[in-house]
Homo-oligomer: A and B are copies of this chain.
Amino acid sequence: MPTLAPAHELLAIAHQLADAAGAAILPHFRNLDGVEGKRHAHLAFDPVTAGDKAAEAAIRAVLAERRPEDGVFGEEEGHEPGTSGLTWVVDPIDGTRAFMSGVPLWTTLIALHDGERPILGMIDQSYLGERVWACEAEAWARLSGERRQLTTRTTARLEDATLFATDPGMFREGGEDAAFGALSRKVRMTRFGTDGYAYAMLAVGQLDLVVESQNAPYDVMSHIPIIEAAGGVVTDWAGGDAQRGGQIVAAANRAVHGAALEILREAAQKAPPLPFGKG
């Protein structure tokens, strides 16, 4: 494991990365067609791709200046190895379909990986000015200008639980869809359409379960330290390490995690190895 800077120094970098990404993304969100005097610009280009690329470039520029020894693994530009043993894992815009539709639930996901596991996570929604982050003992949210400590719910039974997933179509036929359906029939309420935003709401105690499939490593890496620091559990559907992506179950606590896993485990599959580190 590499020698680490103190948590507050690493978090200061992460905040700078999220700020830079947000500044790069926002001009592309709900582009200006419809604003008085502006033309229908959305027909001419792809705003989500433009925002994604601009944000990842902004993140890489900050890292090149402040952390040139660290590796970077990003959705857009892939893996650039470093020498420190640390890798920043970034998804500049998670939730591209929300972004394209003007729905402000897309997020910028930032994680720092020490070669074995993610040790820092940040979920940022720059249009809302909302940010959730964790590194070691620091686990905070900033919502509506108010700082609150992350803490998950104590809901123990599926019958009382709120379940989220990005899309019902993300579950493969012939197993995954049946397992998710069985879980959905057990819980109090199921809701779709949230991408990384649901994981942030789980960490601030607003919901109990996020169950998904077909995630990339950069879709989930940031969520693991955040939800664990908040008191929750994140694993794959077999109860193993979640950082490779694939099938994910994020839960508010061990009790509701265990109850969900009983249903999901029969459809569990192994995710491919990470393209960096030993994790």
Contacts and interface: CB of A to CB of B under 8 A. Distances in A.
Contacts of A127: 144
A104 B98 CA distance: 13
A33 B205 contact: yes
A96 to B, nearest CB: 10
Contact of A36 (B100, B143, B149): B149
A11 interface: no
Given A128-B128, A168-B192, A193-B194, A162 B34 contact: no
A248 interface: no
Contact of A30 (B34, B154, B197, B204): B204
A34 B104 contact: no
A165 to B, nearest CB: 9
Interface string A35-56: 1100010100000000000000
Say how many copies of this protein the assembly contains: 2
A24 interface: no
Contacts of A148: 34-36
Contact of A193 (B36, B144, B191): B191
A34 B192 contact: no
Q: List the 6 closest A-B pairs by CB distance, nearest first.
A: A193-B193, A102-B206, A192-B192, A102-B201, A35-B148, A192-B193
Contacts of A189: 97, 100
Contact of A150 (B34, B154, B194): B34
Contacts of A97: 189, 191
Interface residues of A, number: 45
B201 A103 contact: yes
A235 interface: no
A135 interface: no
A128 B191 CA distance: 21
Nearest to A102: B206
Interface string A185-200: 0000111111001100
Contacts of A128: 104, 128
A162 B100 contact: yes
A33 B146 CA distance: 13
A188 to B, nearest CB: 10
Nearest to A207: B101
Interface in A140-174: 141, 143-144, 146-151, 154, 162, 164, 167-169
